[in-house]
A and B are shown apart, each in its own frame.
Chain A
Amino acid sequence: MLIGSAAIIAFVLILLAWAWRRPEGKGADERVWTLGLGVGFVMAVLVALVGYGFWVGERILPRSDGAVRVAAEARQWGWAFRQPGPDGQPLETQEVLYVPAGVPIDIEITSTDVIHSFWVPRLGGKMDAVPGRVNVARLMAHTPGEYEGLCAEFCGLGHSFMRFSVIVYEPGAFPDLSNRQTGGADE
């Protein structure tokens, strides 16, 4: 997309420079400019781009294929998560989300007060947490590790600090919880 954009910008600027520097000659053909370049060229680029976007979008949509389901509840200002724990039982945590690597995760996102937005930049996707409804976002992390997440919708005074972590573990190797704070993160 970046290369394509750069090419289009360069193309337009070269046309402009050429128009400027061109020696006196015959006039311009209106249809070449408006219909040819304006409609034809642009439509060709757009159809390709929108089609590609739709295809990618469909792939990362939540489907009912037995993905791991976790819940994220946003509030001013923090996150509460419910995920399968080490023993398979639901585990509730604050500000930290534990998910296994290599499997699709459906995150059910909601909010208790104002609109927030769930976003883990390195894992992609972003979904608003809207009071009164549950939105589902699908993520998949391939590599175990700790990923940073944040609130991406302005939500008042504590917005800048509304961060959380996503700990991605090897399936079956749930990390040791004893050295991590998992509750009462309200300071």
Chain B
Amino acid sequence: MNDQTQSVNPPQRALTLHRELTAVWSDLPGWRGVLASVNHGTIGLRFMATACVFFAIGGVLSMLIRAQLATPRGAFLDTAVYNQIFTMHGSIMMFLFAIPMLEGLALWLLPKILGARDMAFPRLSALGYWCYLFGGTIILLSLLGGVAPDGGWFMYTPLSDKTHTPGINADVWLLGITFVEISAVAAAVEITVTILRCRSADMPLTRMPLMGWYMLGTSVMMLVGFPPLILGSILLELERAFDWPFFDVTRGGDPLLWQHLFWLFGHPEVYIIFLPAAGALSTIIPVLSRTTILGYGTIVAAVLGLVFLSFGLWVHHMFTVGIPHMALAFFSAASALVAVPTAVQVFAWIGTIWKGRPELKLPMLYVLGFFLTFVMGGLTGVMLAIVPFNWQAHDTAFVTAHLHYVLIGGFVFPMLAALTYWMPLICGRARVPRVGEAAFWLILIGFHGTFFIMHLTGLLGMPRRIDVYPDNPEWIIPNLVSSIFSMVMAMGFALFAFDIVMQVIFGAHSRRNPWRAPTLDWAMSLPAPAYNFASLPGPGLDHADAAVALARGTGWLPGAPRGWRETLVVNAGSGRPEHVAVLPDNTMLPIATAAVIGSFFMLMLAGLYWLTPLALVAIVLTLWRWGAVMGADTDHAPILVAKGQSLPVHWQVRGTLAYGGAVATLVADSSLYACLLFGVGFLSVVAPAWPAPESGLSGLWSAMLIGVALVALTLGALFARRAEARRGSAIAQTQTRLGVVSGVIALVALVSIALLLDDPTRHARDALRGVLLGFAVVHMGIATLLAARSHADARDGRISAQRRGAVPVWRLWQDFALATTAISGLLVAAQEVL
């Protein structure tokens, strides 16, 4: 072990290194530290703590539901309040607990377990957190004000449209959740890039800890799976605010478009939640069984299979909307098939226990709770995948029972295991004995007592979402049983929280690596320092036992001798170190940006649409500041990271983290655009009120304007290329200036088309054209801003033979704007011709 570790740098005094690094990596003292922190450890813990608070709030709401249903004529809540409460229970648990919880775990854990000092985009972590906190607060305040969303957590139209929900209840949901989703997409971009580029030296993708694979699968699914919901929310909000009829059957819309977009998100969402939990299980089970995981390769294949299959399942939430039986059979088979990769993992975990010597520590209790609960949830899931059974059980308490078995079994139990497992690393203390076990038994018994009988209640015909059932005496006993046991479960969760607080305050100091785990997250002192590793791990120093050697600076890139927050960036596949990224320091920019984005959403919510341009300008200004503090105006000599190995700093290479982030963002953006095209195709083919009325867009003017826009866009793409190719000379500045000019011309041409558009409230086709145009304008605007950013970089000397400034990212966006605008133009032309 220690005698086999290789050192690539001379040993130093660990305490000196610790002080040097702490000075550079710590949050600011006092309240400024609260507002300005960008450190992944701080932000990750905040995410998890805030998510737990929302879990408690969602839990209290569920207690209110159970209190109402305990008797057939519950007079505890009136129907309007009851509807708000069950809508908020689902929405909070999904969007304000589960997703932020897994984001927090990823942010906090990934750099530690992969052997890096921070996430790829620390400021983005902070922005995501503030968006989450502000959006969640808006939603909570609406509950206090009695105007909370009340249309069910999946917000089916037309119930959620302006006619049937005239208040701002639905707007709160659409705007608040979209605001929170900014943090989800930001986290997905960041997690993807971090896993691909911020691993320890020479850790190939094929040998990274399984947690990395699970989180990679999760983040890719979030990149592709969240945009459909964001698009759906934008469309529904446009319909509510401006009467654009995307979902109105009388004017060419279709309520089923909402269901498709919602479930295109909603089903992957289930696996987005499950995969990180499964990652925790794959990490914890082998450690507590004193062995290695069985079937690494097969598990990776299963994860990839799940990611792929989960996008083919959304229709199984819509078996009763009237879809042809053959199509149902296809989605039924796909839904059943998804049980295969899940089962592969379950059996691999049991096989791991089989080959090891399991120890019944507290995290292992939750793992066993997971097995019992999740296997049952999975089997009821297979039942629901069978079409005739689904027709019977759809929208009954049976489905409620199933989804709680899957979500609590597949997410909450593993997360409780993960919390108890990583608590020593979080707070540096061992837990107080026995309280945790009592909490586990209360939660387990309470859970099964509540939900097992709900299968029966559902088969007795009780639908979801009703508040009274005076004519159904056969539902009284099972409901009462559920209500009583739900109180037991609530006590269990309270005891769990109490146990965590006890551990933080009264726990004995834990020894290093208390579980004797092999992974790098334990190769550090407890609690985890702000910088994670004094020197970074690599071959020979890639095990938790290397903790002392790493702390003494014998690994890669020791200390912070330049006073910068540095971490190693590696090749995505092989893990070969490529350059050194200098990460941003503490800054208030993220909270300021989140605040101006929040002001935009608040103005929309208040219906002050004429004021929103102000907020948009403020957003552009703050984003400009993000770019202004990136890059450098002088070259820096390569940094010696190990004996005989010097690497450039990030502003002197092309393949930076930021470039990877831009690519990941465009993946999400492409998903959004593809869903928009799906919407156009779906409505043209399926919606009843088509073909649309005569269009005024067929004239010569619109053809000319789109032609001008496309030529200007193409020229811009050429200027971007030449600016990068000639970056060493003065010509670069000319090219960036031309890029800005061509961008403005394209923008003007596109905005002029808006004047020719038919009234978007007339028919869904015209409304969709308005959205396509809006998409083109927004992307053209961003590309032009990036051109302007590149021009500022060229002017201020941030571009040279070695430094490229914002030009590569500008080029990427310019190409994307060109491609999507051309496709939209062709689509509209095809609609006109055909």
Chain A 23-59 interface 0/1 with B at a Cβ cutoff of 8 Å (1 = within): 0100110101111011101110010011011101110
- Whole-angstrom distance from the CB of B642 to the nearest CB of chain A? 36
In chain B between 123 and 173, which residues have their CB closer than 8 angstroms to a CB of chain A?
151-152, 156, 158-159, 163-164
| B379 engages A114 (CB within 8 Å) | no
Could you mark each residue 138-174 of chain A with 1 if its beta carbon is under 8 Å from any beta carbon of chain B, else 0? 0000000000101111111111100100000000000
> When the two chains form their complex, are residues A38 and B298 in contact, meaning their CB atoms are under 8 A apart?
yes
Counting chain B residues whose Cβ lies within 8 A of the other chain, the interface size class is 35 or more
Q: Does B372 contact A (CB under 8 A)?
A: yes
8 Å CB contact of B347 from A9, A33, A76: A33
**Chain B residues closer than 8 Å to A43, beta-carbon distance:** 340
Given contacts A34-B294, A34-B298, A160-B467, contact A46 B337 (CB under 8 A): yes
In the bound complex, CA of A32 to CA of B333 (Å)? 25
> Does B822 sit within 8 A of A, measured CB to CB?
no
Chain B residues near A177 (CB-CB < 8 A):
none
Query: In the bound complex, do residue B336 and residue A46 qualify as a contact, i.e. CB atoms below 8 Å apart?
Result: yes
Known: A13-B371, A56-B388, A154-B152. A128 touches B83 (CB 8 A): no
* A154–B298 CA distance with the chains assembled, in angstroms: 42
For B371, the closest partner residue in chain A by CB is A16
Asked, given contacts A125-B391, A154-B465, whether A19 binds B353 with beta carbons under 8 Å apart, the answer is yes
**For the complex, what is the distance from the CA of A160 to the CA of B471, rounded to whole Å?**
11
B23 at the interface (CB under 8 A from A): no
Could you tell me how many residues of chain A have their Cβ less than 8 Å away from some Cβ of chain B?
Answer: 69
Q: Compute how far the CA of A125 lies from the CA of B461 in the bound complex, rounded to whole angstroms.
A: 12
Does B80 lie within 8 Å of A157, measured CB to CB?
A: yes
Distance of A15 from chain B, by nearest CB (Å): 5
- State whether the Cβ of A175 lies closer than 8 Å to any Cβ in chain B: no
The verdict on A42 contacting B340 (CB below 8 Å), with A13-B372, A30-B295, A126-B395 known, is yes
Decide: A30 near B351, CB < 8 A? Known: A12-B371, A133-B322.
yes
- A126 close to B394 (CB less than 8 A): yes
Closest to A120 in B: B461
Instruction: Give the Cβ gap from A1 to chain B, nearest Cβ, in Å.
Output: 6
Closest to B254 in A: A132
Contact with A along B452-475 (1 / 0, CB 8 A): 000000001101111111010000
Measured in the bound complex, the distance between the Cα atoms of B357 and A33 in whole Å is 17
Q: Which B residues touch A182, using CB under 8 A?
A: none
Whether B340 contacts A46 by the Cβ 8 Å rule is yes
Within B30-86, the residues touching A (CB, 8 Å) are 79-80, 83
CA distance A151 to B395 in the complex (A): 10
Determine whether the beta carbon of B295 is less than 8 Å from that of A34: yes
Chain B residues near A30: list those with CB within 8 A: 294-295, 298, 351
Confirm or deny: A127 has a beta carbon within 8 angstroms of a beta carbon on chain B.
Answer: yes
Contact of A33 among B295, B375, B379, B389 (CB under 8 A): B295
Please pick, from A1, A16, A22, the residue contacting B368 in the complex, using a CB distance under 8 A: A16
Q: Are B325 and A58 in contact (CB under 8 A)?
A: yes
Residues of A within 8 A of B83 (CB): 154, 156-157
A113 touches B347 (CB 8 A): no
Residues of A within 8 A of B376 (CB): 5, 9
A185 in contact (CB, < 8 A): no
What's the Cα separation between A136 and B151 when bound, in Å? 26
Verify A1–B389 contact, CB threshold 8 A. yes
CA distance A135 to B256 in the complex (A): 13
- Of the residues A33, A53, A153, contact of B387 by C-beta under 8 Å: A53
Which of B355, B383, B463 has the most chain A CB atoms closer than 10 A to its own CB? B463
- Tell me the bound Cα distance from A113 to B830 in angstroms: 33
Instruction: Tell whether, in the assembled complex, residue B348 and residue A34 are in contact, meaning their CB atoms are under 8 Å apart.
Output: yes
| Cα–Cα distance between A135 and B321 once the two chains are bound (Å) | 8
B791 to chain A, nearest CB (A): 51
Determine the chain B residues whose CB is within 8 A of the CB of A28 once the complex forms.
Answer: 294, 351-352, 354-355
Known: A34-B347, A38-B347. A5 touches B340 (CB 8 A): no
Complex Cα distance, B354 from A15, in Å, reads 9
- A132–B688 touching, CB < 8 Å: yes
> B350–A12 contact, CB under 8 A?
yes
Name B336's contact: one of A49, A130, A133, A152 (CB within 8 Å): A49
Q: Does B255 make an interface contact (CB < 8 A)?
A: yes
Question: B345 to chain A: which residues have CB within 8 Å?
Answer: 38
Partner pick for B322 among A121, A127, A156, CB 8 A cutoff: A127
Q: Are B329 and A131 in contact (CB under 8 A)?
A: no
Q: A16-B353, A154-B159 are in contact. Are A124 and B371 (CB under 8 A)?
A: no
Q: Which residue of A lies closest to B343 (CB)?
A: A42
A115 to B391, CA, bound (A): 16
Considering the chains assembled together, what is the distance between the CA atoms of A162 and B345 in angstroms? 44
A37 to B344, CA, bound (A): 7
Alpha-carbon distance between A114 and B258 when the two chains are bound, in angstroms = 13
* B322 engages A130 (CB within 8 Å): yes
Task: Check if B461 sits within 8 Å of A53, measured CB to CB.
Answer: no
CA distance A57 to B390 in the complex (A): 10
Specify which chain A residues have a CB less than 8 angstroms from the CB of B666 in the assembled complex.
none
Interface residues of A in 84-143 (CB under 8 A from B): 113-115, 117, 119, 121-122, 124-128, 130-133, 135-136
A132 touches B255 (CB 8 A): yes
Q: Is B748 an interface residue (CB 8 A)?
A: no
Residue-wise, chain B 365-378 has the 8 Å CB interface mask toward A (1 for contact) of 00010011001100
Query: A19-B353, A56-B388 are contacts. A128–B320 as well, Cβ < 8 Å?
Result: yes
Q: Which residues of B contact A (CB under 8 A)?
A: 79-80, 83, 151-152, 156, 158-159, 163-164, 249-250, 254-256, 294-295, 298-299, 302, 320-322, 325, 328-329, 332-333, 336-337, 339-340, 343-348, 350-355, 357-358, 368, 371-372, 375-376, 379-380, 382-383, 385-389, 391-392, 394-396, 460-461, 463-469, 471, 687-689
Q: Assuming A115-B158, A126-B320, what are 9 further A-B pairs, CB within 8 angstroms?
A: A19-B351, A34-B344, A38-B345, A41-B343, A52-B386, A53-B387, A57-B328, A61-B325, A127-B391
Interface residues of A (CB under 8 A from B): 1, 5, 8-9, 12-13, 15-16, 18-20, 22, 24, 27-28, 30, 32-35, 37-39, 41-43, 46, 49-50, 52-54, 56-58, 60-61, 76, 113-115, 117, 119, 121-122, 124-128, 130-133, 135-136, 148, 150-160, 163
The 5 closest A-B pairs by CB, nearest first: A132-B249, A38-B344, A135-B322, A33-B351, A121-B461
A selection of 14 A-B contacts at a CB cut-off of 8 Å is A1-B389, A5-B380, A13-B372, A13-B375, A28-B355, A33-B354, A53-B387, A114-B159, A127-B320, A128-B322, A131-B255, A132-B249, A132-B687, A155-B159
